[in-house]
Amino acid sequence: MRTTLTRERSSVGGPAVDDALGGPGRRSGAAYRLVPYPPDRAEYVRTAGQARGYRFLLPLRGELLMTQDGLETRLAPGTGGLIAPAAFRVVQPRPARALVMTIPAHEMDGRLHGPPVPVPGLDLSAGLGRVVAAMVRAVGEERGTLSAPQFDAACERITELLCLLVAGDRAGDAHAPGHLAEVEAVVRRHVREHATDPGLTGAAMAQDLGWSLRQVQLALQRAGTTPRDLIREERLRLVRDRLRNPLDRHVTITDLAHATGFSSASALSHAFRRRFGVSPRELRNHGARG
CATH code for the domain of 229: 1.10.10.60
Domain count of the fold of the chain? 2
Mean pLDDT of the residues in the chain: 79
Query: Would you say residue 285 has pLDDT above 80?
Result: yes
* In a shared domain, residues 113 and 255: no
* In a shared domain, residues 153 and 65: yes
Is 12 a member of any domain?
Answer: no
Domain of 85 in residue numbering reads as 17-171
Is 3 a member of any domain?
Answer: no
pLDDT digits (tens, 9 = 90+) for 139-191: 999 988 988 888 988 998 899 888 888 876 554 443 344 567 778 888 998 99
CATH code of the domain covering residue 108: 2.60.120.280
Is 10 a member of any domain?
Answer: no
* In a shared domain, residues 125 and 48: yes
Is 149 a member of any domain?
Answer: yes
Is 101 a member of any domain?
Answer: yes
For β-strands 64-68 and 54-61, DSSP reports them as unpaired
* In a shared domain, residues 216 and 249: yes
The last residue of one of the domains, among 155, 171, 187, is 171
Task: Tell me if residue 145 falls in helix, strand or coil.
Answer: coil
* In a shared domain, residues 56 and 148: yes
* In a shared domain, residues 30 and 148: yes
* Phi, psi at 247, each rounded to 5°: -70, -15
Query: Would you say residue 20 has pLDDT above 70?
Result: no
* In a shared domain, residues 244 and 127: no
Is 95 a member of any domain?
Answer: yes
Q: Of 104 and 222, which is predicted with more confidence?
A: 104
* In a shared domain, residues 167 and 87: yes
CA distances 243 to 20, 28, 52, 198, Å, are: 33, 20, 26, 19
Q: What is the pTM of this model?
A: 0.56
Distance between CA atoms of residues 82 and 140, nearest Å? 17
